[in-house]
């Protein structure tokens, strides 16, 4: 007999209208859709056209209306400020409605953009939901990005209002956000009408009269704003993610499809129900934070945890276990890096022993490849299923997973198991033809993508088509390479572009190269992701200096590192660079980044037949050896 997964999967592919139409009935609609899947403007597929909804109503008010007002919606657990604060659904509604009133009083309405540049505090979530409440489009920018990156996003999104806080806290360091925000607004051509600043006791932001408003002060006189019906196809948010250049891609998410898909994934993929405590230990600046700190758990009526801390150092490697047992977490979702950090500090998981983890059912990991060592360690330590799942900012939810709410498959280490219902996955060769099971190629998804995925890039339909749909007509190109085995298990091996994954954070090496090339002494450069025991990958830069530069190379390296930190942000974790005489290239001038990466990672590599000068490889190996990389390291 087919299991629930097989039945759901087949129906989702053979009759998507019926599959998603039925699931959509689990949400509240002001007006029912005319069409479930609208394919009248291919390749721009839309879901639930004609329907009217409000995502905030479904995530907050609906639960209050259904008698769940006294249930905790949010638990804010901040070891860095020694705070635990809970908000019921009723209290959440109150905060969100009032903040929506403030936004409306600043002229923000349907379709207007609001940038949110905030640390992991409940006010960040209130601001996101308040935007959804009045039909405004939020764009959350991760706190670890520098002013320049924020400015790029301000120019692209053109927000009427920016919401921020005086500071973030990184373990013990207080990071002042307001000077970064002021600098970003100065750098950007577009200027917002107003900024609303949440003052934290750890740092007081200086305010600019007429432009900046104090969050708390505004809340004391705010009028609550009700939910506004929006079209299912109207944008809910823009989330910028690294592309292959310094210009990030503005991934758009709509209201209807996103709400339907995310609510369904909570049960089908993560095996949770309303009332359960669900914890995604990530940041609201990333897609994981959008989908599984904010929208997914709240749409489902779970209690979500906002964690302002790190897996280690706040105060130690037991913080995850403390939070699971104290708040009765059923499902935890984080990146493998977090577990590598814990394992490094407490390899025998002894710190776990004093906590009662009997409430805990599943650990889900994503964001980067799950290495077997980390998988086995987590399995042994926790004694619960450890589930790898694969997805991207663009997709908004998992492409491949072990959907424990439908059917729990045996896992295969190195594989995020099988395509989730809605995803028809294929592996194509360079010629665009499907290749046999087990062979590596480009992993692609047959169009149309399921609801909740990106309908386009913000005001850039052409870049959407060029980036994702052009290489393999009829398919969405994931830019991940891998294979599908004979049992239908997906294996994701590597990116096919210049994106690297540093501690589960997606970064563009092309973007870093653009910044390094701005240094007056640099003639050319290459940045590649090399293996790192903790962060999975870290960027390594190689630079050729201009002829005639006689300064100390170490000085130039220092300046280049500072430049990347100032322009992109500390999150780039760009800390290693070397000066080389030349970069190895093919005769046609293509830099051999892959070959250099193999040398740094001490991997065997095939010397390309087209290389212009073989002796460069020895020089590179020598230089890398001096900083501890490569076989001479
Ligand atoms: N605001 C300001 N700065 C930030 C920041 C934020 N929100 N987040 C990170 N940074 C800074 C850090 O302070 C650090 O700065 P430093 O160079 O001065 O030390 C730098 O950016 C790199 O941060 P991070 O990648 O977090 O590395 P780390 O060494 O501080 O911590 C881990 C390592 C493994 C503990 C950490 O990466 C982690 O918790 N990873 C979990 C994975 C995760 O959440 N992934 C998200 C997708 S699921
Ligand atoms: P992001 O858009 O930041 O979520 O990054 C998406 C990229 O992270 C994917 O394209 C993959 O390269 C990588 N990734 C995410 N999850 C996994 C996983 N489970 N296994 C391997 N790679 C992953």
Q: For 342-375, how does the pLDDT look when each residue is reduced to its tens digit (9 = 90+)?
A: 999 999 999 999 999 999 999 999 999 999 999 9
Strand pairing class (52-53; 230-231): antiparallel
CATH superfamily of 503-625: ANL, C-terminal domain (3.30.300.30)
Confirm or reject: Cβ of 168 under 6 Å from ligand 1: yes
Q: In the chain, what percentage of residues exceed pLDDT 90?
A: 90
**With contact defined as beta carbons under 8 Å apart, do 327 and 281 qualify?**
no
The span from the CA of 631 to the CA of 633, in Å, is 5
Distance 461 CA to ligand 2 centre (A): 23
Cα-Cα-Cα-Cα dihedral sign, residues 432, 436, 442, 446: positive
For the cut 80, the answer to whether the pLDDT of residue 240 exceeds it is: yes
Average pLDDT (333-337) is 97
Question: Which of 140, 367, 374, 420 to probe ligand 2 with, by most ligand atoms within 8 A of CB?
Answer: 367
Instruction: Report the residue count for the chain.
Output: 633
CATH superfamily of 23-309: ANL, N-terminal domain (3.40.50.12780)
Residue with CA at minimum distance from ligand 1 atom 45: 504
Res 632: pLDDT:
54
For 249, phi and psi rounded to 5 degrees? -95, 130
Q: Is 186 exposed, middle or buried, given 0-12, 13-18 or 19+ CB atoms closer than 10 A? A: exposed
Distance 394 CA to ligand 2 centre (A): 10
403 three-class SS:
coil
Measured from the alpha carbon of residue 491, the closest ligand is 2
Measured from the alpha carbon of residue 389, the closest ligand is 2
The span from the CA of 35 to the CA of 43, in Å, is 16
For the cut 70, the answer to whether the pLDDT of residue 170 exceeds it is: yes
Question: Which of 391, 413, 415, 468 to probe ligand 2 with, by most ligand atoms within 8 A of CB?
Answer: 391
Neighbours of 496 (CB within 10 A): 16
Closest atom of ligand 1 relative to the 285 alpha carbon: 7
Res 606: pLDDT:
76
Give the max Cα distance, the chain: 75
Cα-Cα-Cα-Cα dihedral sign, residues 142, 564, 529, 172: negative
| E strand residue ranges, 171-257 | 173-176, 194-198, 212-214, 230-231, 235-241, 249-254
Same fold, 23-309 and 503-625: no
The span from the CA of 308 to the CA of 83, in Å, is 9
Closest atom of ligand 1 relative to the 120 alpha carbon: 7
Give the domain ranges of the chain: 23-309, 503-625
Confirm or reject: Cβ of 332 under 6 Å from ligand 1: no
The span from the CA of 468 to the CA of 444, in Å, is 10
Least confident piece of the model among 128-142, 410-424, 469-483, 490-504:
490-504
Confirm or reject: Cβ of 335 under 6 Å from ligand 1: yes
Question: For 59-89, how does the pLDDT look when each residue is reduced to its tens digit (9 = 90+)?
Answer: 999 999 999 999 999 999 999 999 999 999 9
Strand pairing class (576-579; 35-38): unpaired
Distance 479 CA to ligand 2 centre (A): 10
245 contacts: CB under 8 Å, gap ≥ 6: 508, 510, 511, 514
Q: How confident is the model at residue 386 (pLDDT cuts 50, 70, 90)?
A: very high
Cα angle 601, 603, 605 (rounded to 5 degrees) comes to 125
Distance 435 CA to ligand 2 centre (A): 22
Q: What CA–CA distances, in Å, run from 127 to 71, 96, 261, 297, 603? A: 21, 7, 22, 17, 47
Question: Which of 368, 374, 453 to probe ligand 2 with, by most ligand atoms within 8 A of CB?
Answer: 368
Closest atom of ligand 2 relative to the 241 alpha carbon: 2
Alpha helix (H) residue ranges in 3-145: 4-14, 16-24, 55-56, 62-63, 89-105, 122-134
**With contact defined as beta carbons under 8 Å apart, do 251 and 393 qualify?**
yes
Q: How high is the mean pLDDT of the chain?
A: 95
For the cut 90, the answer to whether the pLDDT of residue 482 exceeds it is: yes
For the cut 70, the answer to whether the pLDDT of residue 167 exceeds it is: yes
Q: In the chain, what percentage of residues exceed pLDDT 70?
A: 99
Distance 377 CA to ligand 1 centre (A): 22
Neighbours of 222 (CB within 10 A): 19
Distance 533 CA to ligand 1 centre (A): 15
For the cut 80, the answer to whether the pLDDT of residue 607 exceeds it is: no
Q: How confident is the model at residue 340 (pLDDT cuts 50, 70, 90)?
A: very high
Q: How confident is the model at residue 633 (pLDDT cuts 50, 70, 90)?
A: very low
Q: Is 135 exposed, middle or buried, given 0-12, 13-18 or 19+ CB atoms closer than 10 A? A: buried
Which position has the higher pLDDT, 17 or 609? 17
Instruction: Name which of 196, 182, 191, 181 is nearest 159 in CA terms.
Output: 191
Closest atom of ligand 2 relative to the 416 alpha carbon: 19
Measured from the alpha carbon of residue 393, the closest ligand is 2
pTM above 0.75, yes or no: yes
Distance 391 CA to ligand 2 centre (A): 5
Which residues are bridge partners to 241 per DSSP?
Answer: 249
157 three-class SS:
helix
Residue 144 is given by DSSP the state: T
Q: How confident is the model at residue 276 (pLDDT cuts 50, 70, 90)?
A: very high
The span from the CA of 546 to the CA of 352, in Å, is 54
């Amino acid at each position: 007999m087919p299991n629930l997964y097989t039945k759901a999967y087949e129906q989702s592919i053979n009759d998507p209208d019926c599959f998603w139409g039925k699931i959509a009935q689990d949400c509240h609609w002001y007006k029912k859709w005319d069409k479930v899947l609208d394919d009248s403007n291919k390749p721009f597929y839309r879901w639930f056209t004609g329907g009217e909804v409000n995502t905030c109503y479904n995530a907050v008010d609906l639960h209050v209306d259904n008698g769940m007002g006294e249930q905790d919606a949010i638990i804010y657990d901040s070891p860095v400020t020694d705070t635990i604060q809970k908000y019921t659904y009723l209290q959440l509604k109150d905060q969100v409605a009032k903040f929506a009133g403030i936004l409306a009083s600043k002229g923000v309405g349907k379709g207007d953009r609001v940038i949110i540049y905030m640390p992991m505090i409940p006010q960040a979530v209130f601001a996101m939901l308040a935007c959804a409440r009045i039909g405004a489009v939020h764009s959350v920018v991760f706190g670890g990005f520098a002013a320049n990156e924020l400015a790029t996003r301000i120019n692209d999104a053109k927000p009427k209002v920016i919401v921020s806080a005086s500071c973030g806290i990184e373990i013990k360091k207080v990071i002042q956000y307001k000077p970064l925000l002021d600098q970003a607004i100065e750098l950007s051509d577009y200027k917002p009408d107003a900024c609303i600043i949440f003052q934290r006791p750890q740092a007081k932001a200086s305010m600019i009269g007429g432009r900046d408003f104090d969050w708390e002060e505004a809340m004391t006189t705010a009028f609550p704003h009700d939910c506004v019906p929006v079209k299912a196809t109207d944008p809910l948010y823009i989330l910028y993610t690294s592309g292959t250049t310094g210009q990030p891609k503005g991934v758009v998410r709509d209201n209807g499809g996103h709400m339907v898909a995310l609510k369904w994934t909570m049960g089908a993929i993560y095996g949770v129900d309303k009332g359960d405590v669900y914890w995604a230990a990530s940041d609201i600046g990333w897609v994981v934070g959008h989908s599984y700190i904010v929208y997914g758990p709240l749409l489902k009526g779970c209690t979500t945890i906002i964690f302002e801390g790190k897996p280690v150092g706040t105060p130690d490697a037991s913080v995850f276990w403390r939070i699971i047992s104290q708040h009765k977490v059923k499902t935890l979702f984080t990146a493998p890096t977090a577990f590598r950090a814990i394992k490094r500090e407490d390899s025998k998981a002894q710190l776990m022993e004093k906590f009662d983890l009997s409430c805990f059912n599943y650990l889900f990991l994503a964001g980067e490849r799950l290495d077997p060592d980390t998988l086995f360690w987590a399995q042994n330590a926790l004694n619960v299923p450890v589930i790898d799942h694969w997805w991207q900012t663009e997709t908004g939810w998992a492409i491949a997973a072990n959907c424990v709410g439908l059917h729990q498959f045996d896992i295969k280490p190195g594989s995020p198991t099988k395509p989730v219902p809605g995803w028809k996955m294929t592996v194509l060769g360079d010629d665009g033809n499907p290749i046999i099971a087990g062979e590596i190629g480009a992993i692609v998804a047959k169009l149309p993508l399921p609801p909740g995925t990106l309908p386009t890039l913000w005001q850039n339909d052409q870049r959407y088509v060029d980036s994702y749909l052009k290489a393999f007509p009829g398919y969405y190109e994931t830019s991940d390479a891998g294979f599908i085995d004979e049992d239908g298990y997906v294996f994701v091996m590597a990116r096919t572009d210049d994106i690297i994954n540093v501690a589960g954070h997606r970064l563009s090496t092309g973007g870093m190269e653009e910044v390094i090339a701005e240094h007056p002494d640099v003639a050319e450069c290459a940045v590649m992701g090399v293996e790192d025991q903790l962060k999975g990958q870290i960027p390594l830069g190689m630079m050729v200096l201009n002829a005639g530069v006689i300064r100390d190379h170490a000085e130039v390296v220092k300046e280049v590192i500072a430049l990347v930190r100032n322009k992109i942000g500390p999150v780039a974790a760009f800390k290693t660079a070397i000066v080389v005489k030349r970069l190895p290239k093919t005769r046609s001038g293509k830099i051999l980044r892959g070959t250099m990466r193999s040398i740094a990672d001490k991997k065997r590599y095939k010397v390309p037949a087209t290389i212009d000068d073989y002796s460069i490889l020895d020089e590179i190996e020598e230089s890398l050896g001096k900083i501890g990389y490569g076989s001479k390291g």
